[in-house]
Structure 1
Amino acid sequence: MRKPYLLLVFILNQTLWILSVDAFSRQDFPPGFVFGAGTSANQVEGAANEDGRTPSIWDSSFSTIGEGSGGNTEVACDQYHKYKEDVQLMVDTGLDAYKFSISWSRLIPNGRGPVNPKGLQYYNNLINELISHGIQPHITLHHNDLPLALQDEYGGWISHKIVEDFTAYADVCFREFGDRVLYWSTVNEANMFSYGGYDVASMPPFRCSPPFGLMNCSAGNSTTEPYMVAHNILLAHASTVKLYRLKYQNKQHGFIGFILYTFAIDPVIKSKEEETAIQRVCDFYFGWFLHPLVYGDYPEIMKRNAGSRIPAFTNYESKLIKGSFDFVGVLYYSYLTIKDNPDSLKMQLRDFDADMAAILNYLGLITSSFPVEPWGLTSVLEYIKKAYGNPPVYIYENGQRTLRNSSLEDITRVNYLQGHIGGVLEALRHGSNTRGYFAWSFLDVLELFGGYNLSFGLYYVDMDDPNLKRYPKQSALWYSSFLKGENITGLDEVEKVSSLSYAQSSK
């Protein structure tokens, strides 16, 4: 079991960012370390109503999150039609790998039953295009886009019925694509999906109940549904991993993992109480899923504070879940601040936040550009190493949000990528088992918060151009230079290298 001192790695301490990584190149990373970039189906494909695809919970609620953003799910980045062009951009950039997701409702329109031939053809074409250019596909099976048919039929993830349907969907993917795909993830950012989708209604399917929620609640139960959804996600994941290991892994020689949203933590006041609160927050957000996956059960503090509202695993389920992963996928963008809040446990009606008994300031994660603070990512990797036995880790999302505009000179994003890749190198030098780094996002995709008003992309997509032309930003050119062996020697030099590359590309 973990020792209490492990919580200290999350305390804000910029000495974790050691200056020894201020100068580095790709050659400083271990042989086989993978560099890539990512997107997701619902954010990049478009063609939402074409070739047999049916709506997902993302489509049905995008009017809530994307109104006035200049984008929609029917267009997105139109990768459905432009995948060859995008793969060529990946080759030009020098990517080793591309992380993307499969749209369940494009492949199996009703959520279960017949496979859509057009959807099957599209993903085969995309995978073959990647493989033919030497780019590894890293595929996520569920990225916030459950088929609406299953949501309408039985409530989707709040029902245990989802376990069978998800496993059957995964079976189709393994059978059809597994001869070429070695890296699978079941559910993307499962902790934020459970919390954001079923407690505070900040993401699809926007379920909550008063007095909880960031918007008016039309359906849901914030006190129970986040725990139910997380429980069913874990069971569906474990069932899928069992299927993969029994039926496919020995033949296909692939790996299957699980993806969590992570953040570093800065206490408002450094005290014994705040340190205890930090560990509690880690248990609630990360231990919620990693603890069952590593130890077979939820953290004791979660079971104690949530009581009967958090489902219990049977002995069989505990054994099935424990060890059911080959790697952990990490999403990391920034740190947040917390304050101990023991009074919340006195509330008669409690949700996930109240059970956690801490006040978290999420505002910086939602409204502002993420600062260049590489210590945060380093500390997350250190925590996973010490608390959960140093499993293999892929950083599947890391990037900086800016307002979307026509400027390609995104030097702040260059600095962010340089700093955080250096932070990964620092973690590696201290024994982290991190195997890869993926920038989010490859293109300016249709973002969950803000649609096209916000930007994470290495490549700008001109939404005013009928052909949706892609343009490399400085960040794409810098990343390409790094991937092709350019030595990185500090932020001033980063600006020089990027400006030079930008000027050359514009000729």
Structure 2
Amino acid sequence: MRKESLALLATLVLLLPTAESNLSRDDFPPGFIFGAGTSAYQVEGAAAEDGRTPSIWDTYTRAGGMLDNSTGDVTSDQYHKYKEDVKLMVDTGLDSYRFSISWSRLLPNGRGAINPKGLAYYNNLIDELLRYGITPHVTIYHYDLPQVLEDEYEGWLSHKIVEDFTAFADVCFREFGDRVSQWTTIVEPNVIAIGSFDSAIFPPSRCSNPFGLFNCTVGDSTTEPYTAAHNFLLAHASVVSLYRTKYQAKQNGRIGLNVYSMWCYPSTNSTLDLQATQRLLDFFVGWIINPLVFGDYPKVMKKIVRSRLPSFTEEQSEQLKGSFDFIGLNHYSSIWVKDNSDASETAPRDFNADLFAKFAISKNETPGSQLVPTDIPFDPAGLQHLLEYIRDAYGNPPVYIEENGYGLGLNNTISDVKRANYLSGYIGSTLDGIRKGANVKGYYVWSFLDVFEFLSGFQSPFGLYHVDFKDENRRRQPKLSALWYSDFLKKKKKKKTSTNINMMGLHQRSHSQR
């Protein structure tokens, strides 16, 4: 970086709010994990190299699915630059790096023979992390189904996926479990179910009129989201059963499922709006967590969705109940909810219509049925409310905040004061939740690097580190938020020198990362 840029960053750090100046990682319980994350398709690149076959995201983006016509063919190129990235993680002070395994890189046919070069890549990445004392947290599935399985039996809409996903997980446990002790089976099954099989904003882009955001050519929005989520849950339970039976005792690892979560506020204190708010929490969060804790879907879902909601057998219910060592939460923002129970009960309904609620991402907006915001409201208190809700509704299970970050609507700037403020606020809210008794074990920023984003391609970067996607070498550069996070992670509570004063260290780290 140029000296002028370093001076500007130093000035901007001075301008950050001082309300959290006393916040320190020492305030968190012993063993609390701080990290950052990415996922395979979003960060690796090398999409057609070394035996990897296409995932549904390769097919979707290469057909022009993204508004900016972007793809993950190269993206941040971590496949070739993982050693450089691990050094950045060390410099940042991360305890842990959360990443995912590309199913089609490890098992190019979706099942059967292992790709030796794919296996070598993940072994090398894990070994490099451990060499520098960084704990790998591995996600087994992060949106990227092998296209071959989608072609063969429509992927997550078929119960056949349970067997294939369990076999894939078995390979991961066998090959990496001696060094990996933190596993997340599936990321955001609730969002994938809606985005892929109702609104069709994600591949395989299935929907039925009038529900999809684009022209629907195949699918059924009234049933397929529920079918897909059902199979996600059954696949998760199968994998956890395998892990606990075959691997956990000797590998001493922990395994959980991830859910996308928003905090929900009623637009007014009316009984109807309060009921609509709880209904949305049950539909969106309870849809996934209730089966893990209680063995079945929320009662309100069963009442409203009726026969369109699949049922668990008694055996499946027992396998689901308790099938987690922790819950992973992806949380970015809050929404405001208004009742819409006068909507027709006889017309065809998709997931959104089943809610009988309208919602908005800002108090100033008219509530509407929009799941994908164009910007992220700053509401750290919502995370504390969510953590307390999980504590009270589900028996206070161990929780990892597996994604939290700021990027939608944010320009790609190195001087990202808004992102640094966002992280400060939400880390503070995490601590407030812990002090209120929430059983939170770790916090991961999304994302470590600028990556290909599923919602926006390269238009809304979330990274702590800027990646120059126009540069063939994908040069990395620390943003202000990276420097803020690093200083937070390294600052001791009793140390008198504050974030706002300790600029020399920030300069040296930034200069070393040119």
For residues 418 and 222 of structure 1, what CA distance do their matches in structure 2 show?
39
Match of 2:6 in 1: none
Amino acid at match of 1:302: M
Are 2:104 and 1:98 equivalent residues in the alignment? Answer: no
Change (3 A) 1:413 1:300: same
Partner residue in 2 for 1:30: 29
* Equivalence for 2:173: 174
Distance 1:293 1:162 in 2: 19
Length, aligned pairs only: 484
Read off the aligned partner of 1:162 and give its amino acid letter.
I
Cα distance in 1 between the residues matched to 2:65 and 2:501:
37
Q: CA deviation at 1:124?
A: 0.5
Residue 504 of structure 1 and its aligned partner are, at CA, apart by 5.2
Q: Find the partner of 2:427 among 421, 426, 437.
A: 421
1:83 Cα offset (Å): 0.5
Partner of 2:241: 242
Residue 204 of structure 1: how far off its partner (Å): 2.0
Structure 2: gaps spanning 5 or more residues: 1-17, 362-367
Percent identity of equivalent pairs: 56
Alpha carbons 1:345, 1:354 under 8 Å: kept:
no
Q: Distance in 1 between matches of 2:263 and 2:409?
A: 23
CA offsets 1:14-49 (integer angstroms, 9 cap, x no match): xxxxx9967321110010000000000010000000
Kindly indicate whether residue 257 of structure 2 is the aligned counterpart of residue 251 of structure 1. no
Residue deviations 1:445-494, cap 9 Å, x none? 000111111111000001222211100001001100011025599xxx86
Query: Hey, what's the Cα distance between the residues in 2 that align with 1:279 and 1:488?
Result: 42
Question: Structure 1, residues 167-204: CA drift from partner, whole Å, max 9, x if none?
Answer: 00000000000000001111101111111111111222
Instruction: State how far apart, in whole Å, the 2-side matches of 1:369 and 1:497 are.
Output: 32
Q: What are the residue-to-residue correspondences of 1:96-495 with 2, within 5 Å?
A: 96-361=95-360, 366-403=372-409, 407-485=413-491
CA shift in 2, pair 1:377/1:501, >3 Å: farther
Q: 1:416 to 1:242 in 2, by over 3 A?
A: same
Relative to structure 1, the CA distance from residue 325 to residue 345 in structure 2 (aligned partners, 3 Å threshold; closer, same or farther) is: farther
Tell me, in whole angstroms, the C-alpha distance in 1 between the residues paired with 2:282 and 2:188. Answer: 16
**Residue type at the aligned position of 1:196:** G
Give the alignment's TM-score, normalised by structure 1: 0.92
Alpha-carbon offset, residue 72 of structure 1:
2.5
1:406 Cα shift?
A: 5.6
Amino acid at match of 2:413: S
1:66 partner letter: M
Aligned residues of 1:474 and 1:499 also touching (Cα < 8 A): no
Distance in structure 1 (CA, Å) of the matches to 2:281 and 2:127: 40
TM-score by length of 2: 0.90
Letter in 2 for 1:274: D
Write the distance in 2 (CA, Å) between the matches of 1:242 and 1:193.
23
Contact 1:21 1:423 in 2 (8 A): no
Distance 2:19 2:78 in 1: 40
Distance 1:300 1:42 in 2: 36
What residue identity is the alignment partner of 2:426? H
Higher mean C-alpha deviation, range 56-65 or range 134-143: 56-65
SS at match of 1:286: helix
Letter in 1 for 2:212: G
Contact 2:96 2:137 in 1 (8 A): yes
- Please report the RMSD computed on the Cα atoms of aligned residues, expressed in angstroms: 2.1
Contact persistence 1:53–1:106 (CA under 8 A): yes
Closer, same or farther: CA 488–481 of 1 in aligned 2, 3 Å: farther
Work out the CA distance in 1 between the residues paired with 2:107 and 2:320.
26
**Equivalent position SS for 2:342:** helix
- Indicate how the Cα distance of structure 1 residues 65 and 414 shifts in structure 2: closer, same or farther if over 3 A, else same: farther
Measure the CA separation in 1 of the matches of 2:411 and 2:285: 35
Q: Is contact 2:26–2:492 with CA below 8 Å preserved after alignment?
A: no
Shift of residue 361 of structure 1?
A: 2.6
What is the deviation of 1:225? 0.4
Q: Cα distance, 1:205 vs. partner? A: 1.8
User: What's the offset of the Cα at 1:372?
Assistant: 2.7
Separation in structure 2 between the aligned mates of residue 101 and residue 33 of structure 1, nearest angstrom: 21
Contact 1:143–1:187 (8 Å) recurs in 2: yes
Contact kept, 8 Å, 2:380 with 2:429, in 1: the verdict is yes
Query: How far, CA to CA, are the matches of 2:244 and 2:508 in structure 1?
Result: 49
Report deviation, 1:57.
0.9
